[in-house]
Structure 1
Amino acid sequence: MPASKTAPTAATTDPAPATYRRPTALAVFLIVAGLIGLWAAYMLTVDKFHLLANPDAQLSCNFSVLVGCSKNLNSWQGSLLGFPNPILGLGGWTATIAVGVGLFATASRFARWYWIAFNVGVVLALALVIFLITESLTVLNVLCPWCMVTWTVTIPTFWAVTLYNLKEGNIPVPERARTFFGTLYGWVPLITIVCYAIVAILAQIQLDWIHRAFV
């Protein structure tokens, strides 16, 4: 007798898993942002060493009474954990570069815990930046150039990483919410510009920086 046909197994009828698409744009952004942030942290660290060696040193980032690094670096806000804040930047931005490079180096997804851990770090970085922006504008009354470079890359890094994790489901949310966050992910540049504008407006209200920046 001819062999009877057997029913298809579950393995042959189940749909194939979705192909992993490497987030190339995010990887490139993380590497570039990480390099810029690392450079700013390095410059702040060098300037801090100069101040430790000579408290009256004239730093290259001191342009005027309004724009400079010395006041920030010498304040308690500049060493929140008992050591200079730029050291946090050296470690944090190195990790950001490593994540970006890792996205190119692997053909599979990072584990969810890995993305969540990275996102927690990004949230903490943004919280620190918001605190330092507030202190710079309302207490220190000075704009630190290298600090502003750090602000410039931290803000879009937060939005890019957080919205990516929300749309990909690494941060668990309902499917409808994932679609919404996926749409927002495409608007990260505009969201970032809005954030920059808010900071600039607050600085203008508090410091009148447009008039005083080069006085």
Structure 2
Amino acid sequence: MSQVQKRSRPTALAVWLVLAGAVGWWAAFSLTMERLHLLADPDAIASCDFSPLVQCTANLQSWQGSVFGFPNPILGLTGWVAPIVVGMAILAGARFGRWFWLLFELGLTFAFVFVIWLIGQSIFVLGTLCPWCMVTWIVTIPTYYVVTLHVLRTGLLPAPAAVRRGAGTLMGWVPLLAVVSYAIVAILAQVRLDILGALF
């Protein structure tokens, strides 16, 4: 018997991938437009610049905003297409091989690690919170969780039976895991940047 469990089509996962991909793509598109606007007029004020604490410009114009030699939002414009396509394909009845899911998981792991690094840079180095960046954080974190748990629970990523069962159980707790993750980021931001003090 194959170690990979035969499961029905993961409809909920597919719907989430489409929704998260669309939200993430829109955030990346909005940031890209802001970056182009700033390139055309360096003295312009981005529409997402609300205060010295909550703004996009500082992030977009920093070296952290172009880690690979081009604006980070371009990664989002291309990368967020993948979850949308995968989700729509699953809804259409497609079934993907193990190698595909492992590559997809690898891509999401890169995105998750990159987002965690960007969160740290934003809070502890730049001292700003970029609204569209935060939208990207909000969808990247649970997307990584659900895909990781999916490949574990189905045996696509080799793991002991106990780990697969645990992943299956945790799948129902992804919303709570996401909220806890957001809370940790919020606490770090509050401790480092005193957001409440700045607002009130």
Same structural fold, with TM-score higher than 0.5 when normalized by the shorter chain:
yes
Q: Which moved further from structure 2: 19-28 or 112-121?
A: 19-28
Give, in whole Å, the separation in 1 of the partners of 2:117 and 2:7. Answer: 37
Give TM-score scaled by structure 1 length. 0.89
* Deviation for aligned residue 1:211: 2.1
Equivalent position to 1:113, from 83, 89, 99: 99
Could you say which residue in structure 2 is the equivalent of 1:7? none
- Aligned pairs (5 A) from 1:59-208: 59-107=46-94, 109-208=95-194
Unaligned 5+ segments in structure 1 are 1-13
Give, in whole Å, the separation in 2 of the partners of 1:70 and 1:86. Answer: 13
* Deviation for aligned residue 1:19: 5.9
Give, in whole Å, the separation in 1 of the partners of 2:6 and 2:103. Answer: 24
Give, in whole Å, the separation in 2 of the partners of 1:190 and 1:152. Answer: 13
Structure 1 residue ranges, 4+ long, deviating more than 4 angstroms after superposition? none
TM-superposition CA deviations, 1:82-102 (whole Å, max 9, x none): 000000001110111001101
CA contact (8 A) 2:54 2:130 kept: yes
Could you say which residue in structure 1 is the equivalent of 2:198? 212
| Matched position secondary structure for 2:70 | coil
- Aligned pairs (5 A) from 1:49-64: 49-64=36-51
State the identity as a percent. Answer: 56
Give, in whole Å, the separation in 2 of the partners of 1:84 and 1:44. Answer: 9
Unaligned 5+ segments in structure 2 are none
TM-superposition CA deviations, 1:173-198 (whole Å, max 9, x none): 01121111111111101000000000
Give, in whole Å, the separation in 2 of the partners of 1:19 and 1:182. Answer: 14
- Aligned pairs (5 A) from 1:2-81: 20-81=7-68
Give, in whole Å, the separation in 1 of the partners of 2:51 and 2:26. Answer: 22
CA contact (8 A) 2:6 2:154 kept: no
Give, in whole Å, the separation in 2 of the partners of 1:32 and 1:210. Answer: 31
TM-superposition CA deviations, 1:27-60 (whole Å, max 9, x none): 0000000000000000000000011111111111
CA contact (8 A) 2:7 2:154 kept: no
CA RMSD, Structure 1 to Structure 2 (Å): 1.4
CA contact (8 A) 2:14 2:90 kept: yes
* Deviation for aligned residue 1:116: 0.5
* Deviation for aligned residue 1:64: 0.4
Counterpart code for 2:34: D
Aligned pairs, how many?
197
Give TM-score scaled by structure 2 length. 0.95
